[in-house]
Chain A
Amino acid sequence: MTATLVTVRRSGARRRRIPVIAIVGLAVLAAACLAALLAPWLAPYPPDVPAGAGSQPPSLEHPLGTTTQGFDVLSQLLYGARTSLGVGLAVAGITTVMGLAIGVIAAYRGGWTDSVLSLLTNVFLVLPGLPLIVVLAAFLPPGPSTIILVLSITGWAFGARLFRSQALSLRTREFVAAAETAGMGRLRVMGTQIVPNMASIIAAFVVNQVVFAITAEASLEFLGLGDPTTISWGTMLFWAQTGSALLLGNWWEFVFPGLAIALTASMLTFVNYAVDETSSPRLQARELVHRFLGTGTRSSSLITPVRRTDASS
């Protein structure tokens, strides 16, 4: 994933600059992940033991306030990040790997293999996602593992189809034929010729999946389909709901977990946007010209602009 985002310096003047928002997004995300990992040391109080009086607004003692039952919101947020981010990354990882495996194999092998795998993919695509998630979550033992399972089952097919079509177009490229002519094994061809050239689309997919998984997980837990005894941003919202935080005016109980989810999603979207930007030379070209001509010039890309660099402009 880093390959597409790092500044690439090549011979000549071709250098890709990382857009600022990508740096911002990555930095915030990195900070969040770090905070989650270091929760046991960063959290001022244990998250599951009442740490003070209930329904306390943010104060010096409790920077993000306490819940109706007296749990420290900040501590819960930090520990909850582990579950939320963990589920998000796990689902993204599983669906990407599954989608890649099935999509690329189907595209490369073709024939019967492709027919069977595509049928499987289409079946899972057609299954109504949300109802299935709800039903599965309702019947399986509650907890983050179930949520990971459920989201992965319903989420891999989209990736499989995406990766299959990308792999199909790569499969017909001459360098793949060249590798096959040299006698390269099938698995190796898929691993060294096809998948590495899908890097940016894989990166974009992973990012999208994390966003999807985090918000889906929060939704499930908010609906009570998760394990209420675990701590995550979603369960925080669940408890805020059942504890009537809104009625009581305890805005800090739902605003902070909500913000955490929204912020994570936004930062991921920034990163995604940056991936798109750096992989579209045409957008870059237009941008360069506009910057060169200065603001205020109405230029159409259908007419080459004239900007004289000599004195008689």
Chain B
Amino acid sequence: MTTVDISSPAVAGPVVALTDVTKRYRRGAIAAVSDVDLTVGARRIVALVGESGSGKSTLGRMVVGLLDPTSGDVRVDAEPVVPVKRRRRARPRRAQMVFQDVYGSLNPSQDIGRQIEEAFLSSHPGSSRAAARARAAALLARVGLDPDLYAARRPDDLSGGQRQRVGIARALAGDPSVVIADEPISMLDVSIRRDVLDLLVGLRDDEGVSVLYITHDLLSAGYVADDIVVLFRGMVVEQGPAREVLARPRHPYSRLLAGSSPGLGQEERARVFLEAPRPRTPWNGEGCPFAPRCPFAQELCRTALPPLTVTGRAGDAATAAARCHRLEELDALVATREEEADR
């Protein structure tokens, strides 16, 4: 009988460590991800927030090994990630994934109990079918689905929310150190989203599993995450403890994102950015990626990429930082612009 070990993690140090990771396509012409450093500590939930095209899904897929980085280092539990293409049975995969597409991420022609069993057997080679079945039943119960009622059902018979619970159960079957949740609730009905999010939080609290929560929705990120990392055009533009990033976003894009999220109360503070016109021409690759849309962009911003400047205390799991040349003066600039507008 397998028991879930919730004692201190076997590995000291971060569960996920991405160092200087870059992903390029089309012979280097397009950079989906550029020089990203990212860590997820033990028993932490980190939210990776960004719009589509920001590279967040790309990063998530690199952590589980579905994509190879063009350059840089990707480690889980201090071990380099083995790409899925070259997977080996003897090496259990410690990073598992919950997918966005609830309708496509379960095998339509297999019972869901069986699918969880298969996931268990894949990561515990040599286990008996009986052990797999027991574990699958336990996992189904864990995610709130009565195994007697659900194990024999096909995905077709389940609602979106139920399917996603199965997805979480399947991810847990591999005894992961970290679960990458790639937009897990975007395709679900509003009234069940919170339940699924609560399940993810439970992974950290009850199973001691870390979660990398990938989303475009700042609100849900604030609901589950300990730390937030904001991604724009493949680069980290801001990171920090969730509460801080939401209460006082520093980077212009973070402010824009917060201002666009209804219910955060950030609209006034972000007004200048919300009303800035959308650029007609795409970014040429030089300097700050946000410069074309930034009402405060200067010549320096257009020529030199700003470095990630630490703004918070060192020692936190995600040291607060932001990538902007004019970070210090931004509040003052915004205030001045507001005054001008009101006149």
Binding site for B on A (CB under 8 A): 10-11, 173-175, 177-185, 188, 192-193, 196-197, 199
Question: Max chain B CB contacts within 10 Å: which of A11, A173, A183, A193?
Answer: A183
User: Contacts of B97 on A, CB cut-off 8 Å?
Assistant: 177-178, 181
A11 to B108, CA, bound (A): 16
Within 8 A of A (CB), among B105-129: 105-110, 118-119, 122-123
Is B204 among interface residues, defined by CB-CB distance under 8 A? Answer: no
The stretch of B84-92, B191-199, B261-269, B312-320 in contact with A is: B84-92
Give 14 A-B contacts (CB < 8 Å), ordered by A residue: A10-B157, A174-B104, A175-B104, A175-B107, A177-B99, A179-B107, A182-B123, A183-B92, A184-B122, A185-B89, A192-B107, A192-B118, A193-B107, A197-B107
In the complex, the answer to whether B157 meets A183 with C-beta atoms within 8 Å is no
In the complex, the answer to whether A197 meets B123 with C-beta atoms within 8 Å is no
The count of A-to-B residue pairs whose CB atoms sit within 8 angstroms is 74
In the complex, the answer to whether A179 meets B93 with C-beta atoms within 8 Å is no
Residue in A closest to B91 when the chains form the complex, CB atoms? A183
In the complex, the answer to whether B96 meets A182 with C-beta atoms within 8 Å is yes
Binding site for A on B (CB under 8 A): 64-66, 84, 87, 89, 91-93, 96-97, 99, 101, 104-110, 118-119, 122-123, 154, 156-157, 167, 170, 173-174
Known: A175-B104, A192-B118. A183 touches B66 (CB 8 A): no
Known: A175-B105, A181-B84, A192-B118. A10 touches B156 (CB 8 A): yes
A192 to B118, CA, bound (A): 10
Partner of A182, one of B110, B154, B170: B170
Partner of B122, one of A10, A177, A179: A179
Known: A10-B156, A192-B110, A196-B110. A182 touches B105 (CB 8 A): no
User: Contacts of A174 on B, CB cut-off 8 Å?
Assistant: 99, 101, 104-105
In the complex, the answer to whether B104 meets A11 with C-beta atoms within 8 Å is no
The dominant DSSP class at the B interface is loop
Residue in B closest to A183 when the chains form the complex, CB atoms? B122
A180 to B65, CA, bound (A): 10
Least CB distance from B88 to A in Å reads 9
In the complex, the answer to whether B104 meets A173 with C-beta atoms within 8 Å is yes
User: Contacts of A188 on B, CB cut-off 8 Å?
Assistant: 118, 122
Partner of B87, one of A175, A183, A197: A183
A174 to B108, CA, bound (A): 11
Residue in A closest to B107 when the chains form the complex, CB atoms? A175
Residue in A closest to B174 when the chains form the complex, CB atoms? A182
Least CB distance from A284 to B in Å reads 16
A175 to B156, CA, bound (A): 14
A183 to B122, CA, bound (A): 5
User: Contacts of A183 on B, CB cut-off 8 Å?
Assistant: 87, 89, 91-93, 122-123, 174
A192 to B109, CA, bound (A): 9
* Interface pairs A-B: 9 shortest CB-CB: A182-B119, A174-B105, A183-B122, A184-B122, A196-B109, A174-B104, A182-B122, A175-B107, A180-B84
User: Contacts of B167 on A, CB cut-off 8 Å?
Assistant: 178
In the complex, the answer to whether B105 meets A178 with C-beta atoms within 8 Å is yes
Residue in B closest to A177 when the chains form the complex, CB atoms? B66
User: Contacts of A11 on B, CB cut-off 8 Å?
Assistant: 157
A183 to B91, CA, bound (A): 8
Q: Using A183-B89, A185-B89, A197-B108 as known contacts, list a sample of 4 further A-B pairs with CB atoms less than 8 Å apart, ordered by residue number in A.
A: A181-B97, A182-B123, A183-B123, A183-B174
